[in-house]
Amino acid sequence: MFESYHCEKLEKTLHFLPDGVKFCCSCAEGTGIKINDFSKFNKEEIIKGKKKYIDLLKKGYIPKECKGCIEYKKNNLYKKIKSIFIKQHKNKITHIIIDHFKQCDSNCIYCSQKKLFSERTQNYELLPIIKQLYEQNMIDTENLKVEFQGGNISELKEFEDLMKEFYEHNCDDFVILMNGIKYIPILEEIGNNWKSHICISLDAGTKETYKKIKNIDAFDQVIENIKRLKQKSKAQISLKYIIIKDVNDNKEELEKFLNVAKEIGNIQPLHLEIDYNDTLLSPGTRFDIPKHYYELFEEAENYCRKNNISYKVFPYTKHILKQGYSI
């Protein structure tokens, strides 16, 4: 029987970028499918665009934009039969990624955004588009997850209005990536149900290293902001440590970071990562994972186990650690 595929991200995601809207998420390895013309941000064009690619996959054809991506999956017999009868392109949006803004109040040495988008500006306002999507009944209000990437939300002028729009439509599922340098009061309202998750990349255990990495002297301020937010909201807060070669890739710094996480209390999860400039962002260049990186991962995992902190490593990072290199 014929092959057939589907991609859940394609069916249910809208990822707003500075130069267009993508139909799937940025962590996907394929280049993804985009509408670059802002005048085509409307129901008809979005449905038409998604349908075209959903149908190609359904018929067993892998579009060039999806080549190399790990997200499309083979349909089993049941799915194949179901896909003939159910019009999947009628699925509503359950995942919105807000990533159209690149303004930031920090200047991290590792920032992937500098490589991908040299302009630190914003080309369009998203609020009118979100309003339109709600009006046109394109959003699955019961299951919507909203993820803020960026840039940093503290510099996004429409952040508060966007949050209000989502709150008004009973959205209670947010993932917010931020640097935590400025305190943002509207965040106090999220997370009453423990679904939402705010991830702060601290990347250091001391003021000195923090300043070296972020080019701003704000370590203490970030810790204070995290503590304040934890007091005022029920949001789940996670902390990230990106291992950067010759900067924070040593046990002393990591141990101090782990102690800071423990002292803040109830950090869920603690997330260790390897600088993408050495891995994902250098395709074609082999990066052998240094031996001492394994010790750092082991140390963090043991510390978290002992102190009852959940610990997270992304599947891609687990994969390159197991393999010993990235390429």
Ligand X SMILES: C[S@@+](CC[C@H](N)C(=O)[O-])C[C@H]1O[C@@H](n2cnc3c(N)ncnc32)[C@H](O)[C@@H]1O
**Residues interacting with ligand SF4, by CB under 6 A?**
7, 9-10, 23-24, 28, 30, 32-33, 65-66, 69, 71-72, 104, 106-108, 111, 113, 150-152, 179
What is the pairing mode between strands 174-178 and 145-148?
parallel
- 298: helix, coil or strand? helix
d(CA 33, CA 71): 13
Of residues 144 and 272, the one with the C-beta less far from ligand X: 272
Which residues in this chain contact ligand X in the complex, by CB under 6 A? 104, 110-113, 149-150, 152, 177-179, 199, 201, 240, 242, 273, 275-277
- Give least dist CB 11 to ligand SF4, A: 9
Of residues 179 and 209, the one with the C-beta less far from ligand X: 179
- Give least dist CB 50 to ligand X, A: 25
* Partner that binds at residue 180, options ligand SF4, ligand X, none, CB closer than 5 to 8 Å by kind: none
* Partner that binds at residue 40, options ligand SF4, ligand X, none, CB closer than 5 to 8 Å by kind: none
- Give least dist CB 109 to ligand SF4, A: 9
- Give least dist CB 277 to ligand X, A: 5
Per the CB < 8 A criterion, the answer to whether 317 and 242 are in contact is no
Nearest to 125 by CA among 49, 40, 38, 22: 38
* Partner that binds at residue 33, options ligand X, ligand SF4, none, CB closer than 5 to 8 Å by kind: ligand SF4
Of residues 152 and 196, the one with the C-beta less far from ligand SF4: 152
* Partner that binds at residue 24, options ligand SF4, ligand X, none, CB closer than 5 to 8 Å by kind: ligand SF4
d(CA 189, CA 208): 33
d(CA 126, CA 128): 6
* Partner that binds at residue 5, options ligand SF4, ligand X, none, CB closer than 5 to 8 Å by kind: none
Of residues 73 and 164, the one with the C-beta less far from ligand SF4: 73
Per the CB < 8 A criterion, the answer to whether 288 and 325 are in contact is yes
Of residues 88 and 277, the one with the C-beta less far from ligand X: 277
d(CA 87, CA 68): 26
Of residues 58 and 145, the one with the C-beta less far from ligand X: 145
- Give least dist CB 242 to ligand SF4, A: 9
Q: Which long-range contacts (CB under 8 A, 24 or more apart) does 51-54 make?
A: 51/89, 53/7, 53/10, 53/23, 54/6, 54/7, 54/10, 54/11, 54/88, 54/89
| Number of continuous H segments (helices) and E segments (strands) in the chain | 11, 14
- Give least dist CB 126 to ligand SF4, A: 17
- Give least dist CB 46 to ligand X, A: 25
d(CA 251, CA 293): 10
Return left, alpha or beta for 171; rule: phi > 0 is left, psi -120 to 50 is alpha, else beta: beta
